[in-house]
Amino acid sequence: MVMRPSRILACRMRSMLLVTAVLGAGAAAFASDPGTIPTTREDLSPSDRDRVAAVTAPTTDFSRPEKSENMQGGAATSRKLVNQDAFSHFSANLGFAEEETFKLGNALFRKLWVSSPSSTQASDGLGPLFNARACQSCHLKDGRGHPPEGAADATSMFLRLSRAPRTPQEQQLIKSKSILNLPDPVYGGQLQDLAVPGLKAEGRVVIDYEDFTVALDDGTEVPMRRPTYSVTDLAYGPMDVTTTLSPRVTPAMIGLGLVEQIHPADILALADPDDADGDGISGRANIVRDRATGALALGRFGWKAQNPTIRAQVASAFSGDIGISTPDHPDPWGDCTEAQADCRAAPHGVQSRLGDTEAPDPVLDLVTFYSQHLAVPARRDVDDPEVLRGKEMFHVLGCAGCHTPKFVTRKDAPNKALAFQLIWPYSDFLLHDLGPAMADWQPVGDARGGEWRTQPLWGIGLTQTVSGHTFFLHDGRARSLTEAILWHGGEAEAVTDGFKALPKSDRDALLRFLESL
C-alpha cells in the first residue's frame, strides 16, 4: 500500500464570582504584557536542528523497528516488570535526591484529606464539596479512569459545567483569555457528587446508553453505545438553562513532564487551522493564560488543552476535585459558589503556622514534581511482524496526521532528566474537531464544542493491565480500541472510513500495534 504524503507531512509540520475576581484583584496580572510564544527553537544550534529534524522525520520503512522506538520516554523510560504498577515508576534517569522528592510527592498524591476541623491539621480542608478525597482516588494506579459501570462508583469521572456568556463584559473576558468559560451560577465549574458532613452533595450524574452497531465493509458488526448525560438529585436548585454538561474521565499520568518540555514551536508547526495543505486535518492550538504569570501560553494538558503547565493542572484538580486551596487557587472553599452560602461558611483547613493555604507551596511543588516524573513504560513487541504491519496501517490510514509519533524535548529543560530526549507520545497536542457524535458543545478557551486535544497513545496498550478495564475516549463510552476508532468523525472521518474498509488481518495488525504502545 502507498503512504499518503500529506498525512505524513502533517505529522511534521469558571458565576460572576470569577468575573469579579478577574476584574478585581486578579486584573493586574492579566493586564501584564502577554509576551509571545516562540515559534522557533531557540534552544538548538543549527546542527542540533538538523539532528532533531532527522530523528523526528516520519519513517517510510516498516520492515523493522526504528532506532530507540522501544524507549518511548527516551532515557526516562521505565523498563521495570510490566504489571499493575507499570504507570507508577519514576523516570529511570532521575538522580538519588530526586527519587526522594518523587516519593514525597507520591505520598502526598495518595494522601487522604479530611473535613475541618480535625486533629490532623496537616490533612484537613477537604471540600466542603468535592469529587474525591485524594488524587490517587481518581488516578488509581496513575492510570485511566472509567465511567460508573453497574455498582461501580463515579470517582474517576465527573461533569464539567459551563454556561453561555450573557453580557458583552462576559464575552470580552473570554475573548481576552482572562477566563476559559463561564461556570454555572449555582453549581460552579464542575458537579461535586460528595460533601463533608452537614452539607448536601450537589447532585448525581445519570448516564443512559443507547446500543447500536456499526457495520464494517467486510460485514463485521461492531456493537457500540451512545451516552446521554443528565443530573438528578440537584440539592441547590436548578442549573442555568444554558449550562452544558461535559463528562470527563481521568487520563493516565505517564510522561507528563516530557510533554511539558516539548518546545511550543514544534507543536505550533503542526497546526493547520485553515487546512492549507488540503488533507482534511485542521489542528488548532489552544492559547490560554498562565495563571502564574498572566502571560499567554500554549495549552497542552487536559481534554481540551486548557492548562499550559502541570502545576496549573495539579492546582486546578486540588481546587475543583478535592476542594483544597493552593497558592495558585487560594480560595479554601474550592468550587463552592456565592449561591452556596453554607458551603462558603464551612470551616476550612488553612493553618497559619503551615502557610496561607491548605496545600501550600511545598505540597503543590511536590505533587507537581511527582506528576512530572511518572515514567512511560518501554514498548513491547516492536519487532513483531504483525506489529510492524499495524504500524504501517497506522501511517497509511493517516492516523499519524493527528497522533504525531515523536518529538525531541527542549535542550534547555529545567530538569536534565527531561532534556533533549527523543520521545514517542503519538499526539500533536492540538485541538481537532471529531464531529457532532463526539461533541460536548462546551467551549473551553479556544477549544470549540466539538474539538478535543489529541490524546497521547503511549501506554494505551497497558490500560487493561494497569486499570483493569478498556474504556476509552473522554467519557469512556468506547469499550475497546475498535470502538474508540469508530467514534472518530469530523477531521478523522476519512481515517475511520479507511479502517472500516481494511481486511480483518490489517485491522487486527493495527490493533496489535496500538496494544504494543
pLDDT digits (tens, 9 = 90+) for 482-515: 999 999 999 999 999 999 999 999 999 999 999 9
pLDDT confidence of residue 121: 74
Distance CA(510)–CA(461), nearest Å, equals 12
What is the per-residue pLDDT for 33?
A: 40
Pairwise CA distance, residues 382 & 59, whole Å: 14
- The 10s digit of each residue's pLDDT in 459-477 is 999 999 999 999 999 999 9
Q: Give the residue, 3 or 209, on which the prediction is more confident.
A: 209
CB 334 within 8 A of CB 325: yes
Backbone angles phi, psi at 248, to 5 degrees: -140, 130
d(CA 340, CA 292): 27
DSSP 8-class letter at 230: E
pLDDT over 60 (residue 17) = no
pLDDT, position 149: 80
Q: Quick one: pLDDT at residue 150? A: 65
Percent of the chain predicted with pLDDT > 70 = 92
Q: Mean per-residue pLDDT for 341-362?
A: 92
Which helix H or strand E contains 208, and what residues bound it?
A: strand 204-215
Q: Is the pLDDT of residue 320 over 70?
A: yes
The pLDDT tens digits for 42-58 are 999 999 999 999 999 99
Over range 304-310, report the average pLDDT.
Answer: 98
For the stretch 247-268, pLDDT in tens is 999 999 999 999 999 999 999 9
Burial of 348 (0-12, 13-18, 19+ CB in 10 A): buried
- Check: pTM over 0.95? Answer yes or no: no
Report yes or no: 372 and 418 within 8 Å, Cβ to Cβ. yes
Give the model's pLDDT for residue 24: 32
State how far the Cα of 80 lies from the Cα of 71, in Å rounded to an integer: 12
The predicted-structure confidence for 167-178, as pLDDT tens digits, reads as follows: 999 999 999 999
Mean pLDDT across the stretch 319-341? 96
pLDDT at 3 over 80: no
Residue 408 pLDDT exceeds 60:
yes
Question: Residues 307-318: what's their mean pLDDT?
Answer: 97
What was the pLDDT predicted at 152?
55
pLDDT bin (cut points 50, 70, 90) of residue 36 is confident
Torsion angle of alpha carbons 369, 370, 371, 372, nearest 10°? Answer: 50
Residue 388 has pLDDT above 60, yes or no: yes
* pLDDT of 61 higher than 50: yes
Whole-number Cα distances in Å, 278 to 48, 180, 399: 31, 30, 16
Quote the CA–CA distance of 297 and 264 in Å, as a whole number.
9
Q: Quote the mean pLDDT of the chain.
A: 92
Q: How confident is the model at residue 339 (pLDDT cuts 50, 70, 90)?
A: very high
pLDDT for 16 equals: 29
pLDDT of residue 504: 98
How confident is the model at residue 120, as a pLDDT?
Answer: 78
